[in-house]
Structure 1
């Protein structure tokens, strides 16, 4: 595999400055990652607020999502640096190639996480409390690949934690009691988290299908390997569970016909995804993963329009 066994390149050798390397580390030129977190979080924010949530919460959750996803990339690349050098797609990531040191990556990740936490501090007690749990899950995910048969489920929790936090920020107060926390995050918010987890399982299994051959060689666990020849069926099943449960919960929370139209458009996108992944080509699976943010955007727009028409 070209480039895997070569010596790490220094920043000077690659002709890249520090800013360029740091932007590469946090995947700045690949916004699909943070968009996958953003759309369900904003959908939950609109649902919790029963419409427009206000500029403050919109800015907090949009910037917070971008910052935490970027911090997560730093932690993930440090944790996976010994694995990534054996995978063609990831061998030249800044930490893996040696262009950025482990210390630098962790310092950058900690700085980004701190900035996100400062945003959370402008909300309320339940949201601040939930942010610690969200951080722990985000840190745990890279290491889950060593022991969990479907580490994508752990990622699903991490990528869905913005949902209960959105409810907490909208419905909570500055009361630090356990009763206040329970009141700020209704059961429907946790149900939405579980529903969204199935979407993460779907698109991250598509992502894992890209690296299947490399992952077999290096011995890490992924949902694509666990599902084996049932991987395509598994992805379609995860999509079906997500859309069915998201639709049922949306109706229970007061959404109506426009929202259901969005579900139908999202289902049409799933059919297209099937055509992309059915032959299990690297290109098709990777494209399916990258285009998933449009599915989330569709459901967000449908939610906003439905609530706006009701208002």
Structure 2
């Protein structure tokens, strides 16, 4: 029954959906959400989703609003109030506050002819679908539709704002999600950790540089640009007469590199595809600026 309700709402979005998106985009303050009971839980989730996707929002409990928290709602804000019946008594003070100070009010519920909807500037009226519980009274279908409609608002606002992965990461710095959106530049080891040698550096000195920096590789630079890389595998493949050679003679030319603004997850995929454990981070001119080890990604939670 809930699935059928979602399909019905997808086929016919509330008439004021697009104007609601435009109103929120034009709001200079924040979007204040409120609701009582199960509607309150949904309102909290919508507020959290909006906040994490570029629309500043927070939840105000309607009972607390009546005891001083109305001061959180300013004239530059917009209110989105949820009530399936539209007659939730606890919302009355919030409704009156918005009308008194000319604060835009958006109602979300199932009854067009209700106190909330009659007072609202914009109305997100849910389709008239029955609740899924066996007695037809427990908020089930209505809360599912409200949650989905809140997600649709958030996604539409993301699209209109041009919300990008780097913006998402700014609001999600912790946990695995934050790690997947981290950039190479935030995880790489800096210039002081770069194991670099010149093309004519003897292999004895090159091995010392590889050992000193503990990366198992050395980058070969010419005129400041990275032109090759020497790995432990290159050492094994050139064991015969190794110490009589130079870095130029042993290095693998045109090594895999990464720009600092590449997603760390993409860099790790590149390392896995090439079966390497290190990528040099270079700028647009090919000058090495850092080095990314696969262990750096794993420690940060990139998988």
TM-score w.r.t. length of structure 1 = 0.23
TM-score w.r.t. length of structure 2 = 0.24
Larger Rg: 2
> More helix per residue: 1 or 2?
1
